[in-house]
Structure 1
């Protein structure tokens, strides 16, 4: 029986970009499937009682975080470029369309490559359409879903479900009753999966 890793992420999260680079191969090695669940980090933080400023607003913290991101990108041998904006709601919503079409991994992987690998502007609908096409999705249908009341309601439900489950940040992975928070917890995640085979 295939096991499930519930992966909660927000495209504004560079650490989720890093986690996505490794998570699919970890899942395959351990006979697991990744369930992709978009969420909204600022919304989840507030729901969890974290009313503090974003990392970008704390100068000493962002300095250390930037150094960490550069180290991880070098370690993984991948590019890292901050996007032109952090307006990623449409991309998060689009994941739900990709999930329904069985193309979530392909869409999320290419979306992160564009947003954090190339530093594109997530507000650019041409990029969203190109990502859909690369993932094997119909760009018109994906954009129609994102712009529809149905799509926005589905995204609202996904965010509410994440909050109800206790999601407070990203990346966050659930396996059974275990929670693994952060790209730097992937070794612990795999260790847990191997111990339960």
Structure 2
């Protein structure tokens, strides 16, 4: 384990977290940081932070711009970006905890996001969760049952509360030591700090 770590807070519903993930693990390797992903419930985090405004998807004018902006970032990173059929990410978010317990956290994020934001798969589709389970060699029924369990709900809520206590109010958020950056468009600022020996 490295001496320092980068804590990466995400929710599978966030396209900007999907984009940031294309860069952050590589930056961690470049600067000798341990990559530590943390899943949290983004809508609940916003409420905990006092953000009661409407979601972007309910504001047509803003959503139209965001779609163009997302396409620009995807082109820069040379990755596909397809809006999924829904943003109901809770099953996948909880499944990440199962994957992390089995030593496959980062790999699960990569594969799940490739399906959801790379191909437009519905994160709430039980077939998606089952397919991901099989891809990692897990019993789909076991994973589905765990995602629906009280343990998964408790850990998901605890992770969301811990993110709030860490100062997280949006996704993606990256934290190294006492420094925090919010948003895919802040990775340049983050790397400049890492270059300076943060």
Distance 1:136 1:181, change over 3 A: farther
* CA deviation vs aligned residue, 1:156-176 (integer Å, no higher than 9, x gap): 111111112221110001110
Indicate the residue corresponding to 1:59 in structure 2.
60
Q: What is the number of residues matched between the two proteins?
A: 197
Indicate the residue corresponding to 1:127 in structure 2.
128
Q: Give the TM-score normalised by structure 1.
A: 0.93
Distance apart, 1:42 and its partner CA = 1.2
Q: Which runs of 4+ in 1 moved over 6 A?
A: none
Indicate the residue corresponding to 1:106 in structure 2.
107
CA contact (8 A) 1:36 1:99 kept: no
Distance apart, 1:144 and its partner CA = 2.6
Indicate the residue corresponding to 1:30 in structure 2.
31
Distance apart, 1:122 and its partner CA = 1.3
CA contact (8 A) 2:41 2:156 kept: no
Distance 1:94 1:50, change over 3 A: same
Superposition RMSD in Å: 1.6
- Structure 2: which 5+ runs fail to align? none
Q: Supply the distance in 1 between the matched residues of 2:128 and 2:20 (Cα, whole angstroms).
A: 22
Distance 1:191 1:137, change over 3 A: farther
- Structure 1: which 5+ runs fail to align? none
Distance 1:65 1:40, change over 3 A: same
Indicate the residue corresponding to 2:42 in structure 1.
41
Q: Give the TM-score normalised by structure 2.
A: 0.93
CA contact (8 A) 2:10 2:17 kept: yes
Indicate the residue corresponding to 1:72 in structure 2.
73
Distance apart, 1:188 and its partner CA = 1.8
Indicate the residue corresponding to 1:8 in structure 2.
9
Distance apart, 1:60 and its partner CA = 2.2
Q: Secondary structure at the match of 1:117?
A: coil
- Structure with bigger helix share is 1
Q: Supply the distance in 2 between the matched residues of 1:73 and 1:117 (Cα, whole angstroms).
A: 10
CA contact (8 A) 1:98 1:137 kept: no
Q: Supply the distance in 2 between the matched residues of 1:123 and 1:50 (Cα, whole angstroms).
A: 25
CA contact (8 A) 1:83 1:115 kept: yes
Distance apart, 1:50 and its partner CA = 1.0
